[in-house]
Amino acid sequence: MSHTQFRTNREFAATMDEGDPLAHFRQRFHIPKTENGEDCTYLCGHSLGLQPKTAKAYLEQELDDWARLGVQGHFHGKNPWLPYHRLLAEQTSALAGAEPGEIVVMNSLTMNLHLMMASFYRPSLQRHKILIEHGAFPSDQYAVKSQIRFHHFDVAESLFDLSPRAGESCLRDEDIDEFIEREGESIALILLGGVNYATGQVFDLERVTKAGHKKGCIVAFDLAHAAGNVPLRLHECGADFAVWCSYKYLNGGPGCVAGCFVHERHSRSLDLPRFAGWWGHDEHTRFHMGPDFRPMLGAEGWQLSNPPILALAPLRASMEIFSEAGMERLRAKSLSLTSYMEFLLRAIDSPKFSIITPPQEQRRGAQLSIQIHNRGRELCDRLTARGVIGDWREPNVYRVAPVPLYNSYSDVYRFVHLFQEALQ
């Protein structure tokens, strides 16, 4: 729906909710409550997704199997633990647009980023640089800087930190292209966020990958804010690797096990250097307990340890819901919800804030980042006191994400109404 069809009155939101074919999915989640028992206006799926009501049952199933079967649960549980992580890889690969063998669900995001860089960041004197976007998530910055130092290079010389043009908040696609074209021969690794955590800008993964590969760079993405938020076609786009966490739009629960994609063209490169652990060893001979590591084919070959089943179980609950809802339908609702929020915010017409997320639909996901020009932290606190859960990122950004699985048009309406009050 375009901006010209949106209306600013409350009834419009109610009518949109009535006509929303995905509205019933909200009932499948626990919505946090205010002190007087009303639903919070939860707009923080970009930080921690809500708990599917079925998560407990999925977890209890594994606790029960553990109680009932002990170690036999690995083979005889309802969902045997030995191949348990594969249930998730299958569902995740559909969501990520990848072949099942290209996905593994393991560890945490930053940990996976390091494991991937151990294999794919192989700096040489001619090609040692890493390109990231200015304002990349701090953990990514720490990770790449530590990798550069680990290889005895100097961060000042080996890190490109690409900034938007003066006075702009987001990078332009053509500027990324131009930079890679110019500097690409010295770049070993390009690592961009699929969606920048601060601005909400979506990068064109295919375009960046193409530009990087043309220059011989490894191209990778941090999809923490993209997985479960925007449609992904990782296999087709051809990126070398990608990593993401599962506690944001994927609703896997705090600190949930993360995801990792390795393009299949690398999956048979058994001589790629890697940090090894027994769970990455060929499963047919893993329990022969031999001294020499022979990796599984595909992304599973990067596993280190046997997976934490109790942490994976809640993620299965959420992935079931994703399979039912379908990413295409979710994206369609997401585009509409976010545009509606933008429409209402623009209708306030105040100089006290500006939206720094790109206005073009294809350049953003669910999140809008609102730059508050003065005393924004206080505004955020006032909204929290009224039951609106967004989040604050220093120095001046308030981030809100209407999530199509559990947010409604009425949530968006209520948020903007309270935001306007709090501004005053």
CB of 261 to ligand PLP, least distance (A): 15
Residues 236-275: x where in contact with ligand PLP by CB under 6 A, - otherwise, as a string: ---------x------------x-----------------
Under the binding rule (CB under 6 A), the answer on residue 222 touching ligand PLP is yes
**Minimum distance from residue 72 beta carbon to ligand PLP (Å):** 32
Question: What amino acid is encoded at 174 in this protein?
Answer: E
Q: Which two tokens stand for residue 194?
A: 């699929």
Tokens representing 120?
């794919």
Among 34, 61, 79, 139, binds ligand PLP (CB under 6 A): 139
* Binding region for ligand PLP (CB under 6 A) out of 108-116, 180-188, 321-329, 369-377: 108-116
User: Minimum distance between the CB of residue 109 and ligand PLP, rounded to whole angstroms?
Assistant: 4
For ligand PLP, the closer of residues 22 and 312 by Cβ is 312
Residue choice 45, 123, 135, 193 for contact with ligand PLP (CB under 6 A): 193
**Cα(179)–Cα(263) distance, rounded to whole angstroms?**
24
Determine, following the binding rule CB under 6 A, whether residue 43 of this chain makes contact with ligand PLP.
Answer: no
Does 224 bind ligand PLP (CB under 6 A)? Our answer is yes
To ligand PLP, the closest distance from the beta carbon of 136 in angstroms equals 7
**Cross-strand partners of 353:** 372
Q: Of 225, 263, 316, 399, which one interacts with ligand PLP (CB under 6 A)?
A: 225
In the complex, what is the shortest distance from the CB of residue 420 to ligand PLP, in angstroms, rounded to a whole number? Answer: 28
Beta-sheet strands, E only, within 150-263:
159-162, 187-193, 218-222, 241-244, 259-262
For the chain, the C-alpha Rg in angstroms (whole number) is 22
Candidates 29-37, 209-217, 221-229, 275-283 — which segment interacts with ligand PLP by CB under 6 A?
221-229
For ligand PLP, the binding residue among 51, 91, 110, 334 (CB under 6 A) is 110
Helix (H, G, I), strand (E, B) or coil at 201: strand
- What lies within 8 Å, CB to CB, of 40 at 6+ separation is 31, 32, 33, 34, 387, 388, 389
Contact 175, 183 (CB under 8 A): no
Q: Report the residue number, 81 or 197, with the smaller CB distance to ligand PLP.
A: 197
CB 130 within 8 A of CB 141: no
- 3-class DSSP assignment, residue 79: coil
* Min CB(223)–ligand PLP separation in Å: 8
Write the DSSP string, 11-51.
HHHHHHHHT-TTGGGGGGBPPPB-TTSPBPEE-BTTTSPPP
| Chain residues in the site for ligand PLP (CB under 6 A) | 108-110, 137, 139-140, 193, 197, 222, 224-225, 245, 258
